[in-house]
């Protein structure tokens, strides 16, 4: 491997590093979304079991709650994307949260597989670069 090829290999290694960082950031964002969905699913489940007219605490984010009275525990408004929301039965709303969670879990699995493949490629390239650098220094 000549010096130009060595520089190209080092550039490729930097690209791997950037890709791995991007994957880690995406996985972190997905994890946050999964936690949010879990809270939403739990809130829907708890609201579903509330008696009509009973006092409840409704989470508003930031680990904060507001007091409210349960008025209809059979329906919920669920966002479907692009700022559009639909009224759904409580069972369908909970099912929607579960389906989204499953999709995000699958996304994390695929990203994890991609990360492992990139790490293996980067490690192999790093070993090759180190070996070539040692060979060049020994000349």
Dump pLDDT digits (tens) for 80-104.
889 999 999 999 999 999 999 999 9
If one counts the domains in the chain, the total is 1
Give the domain CATH number at 123. Answer: 1.10.287.370
Distance (Å, whole) CA 21 – CA 14: 11
Contacts of 118 (CB under 8 A, 6+ apart): 16, 19, 20, 23
- By residue range, what is the domain housing residue 84? 3-137
Dump pLDDT digits (tens) for 2-16.
888 889 999 999 999
Smallest CA-to-CA distance from 71 within 54, 88, 91 is with: 54
The confidence score (pLDDT) of residue 132 equals 87
**What DSSP element (H or E) covers 114?**
helix 90-137
Helix (H, G, I), strand (E, B) or coil at 66: strand
Distance (Å, whole) CA 127 – CA 132: 9
**pLDDT tier for residue 139 given thresholds of 50, 70 and 90:** low
Model pTM? 0.81
Burial class (CB in 10 A: 0-12, 13-18, 19+), 40: buried
**Contact present, 90 and 76 (Cβ < 8 Å):** yes
């Amino acid at each position: 491997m000549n010096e130009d090829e060595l520089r190209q290999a080092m550039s490729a290694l930097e690209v791997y590093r950037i890709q791995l960082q991007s994957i880690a950031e995406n996985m972190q964002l997905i994890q946050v979304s999964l936690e949010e969905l879990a809270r939403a699913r739990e809130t829907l489940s708890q609201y579903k079991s509330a008696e009509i007219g009973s006092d409840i605490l409704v989470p508003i984010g930031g680990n904060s709650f507001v007091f409210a009275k349960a008025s209809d525990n059979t329906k919920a408004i669920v966002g479907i994307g692009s700022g559009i929301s639909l009224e759904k039965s409580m069972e369908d709303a909970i099912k929607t949260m579960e389906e989204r969670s499953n999709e995000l879990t699958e996304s994390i699995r695929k990203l994890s597989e991609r990360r492992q493949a990139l790490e293996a490629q980067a490690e192999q390239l790093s070993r090759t670069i180190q070996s070539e650098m040692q060979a060049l220094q020994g000349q």
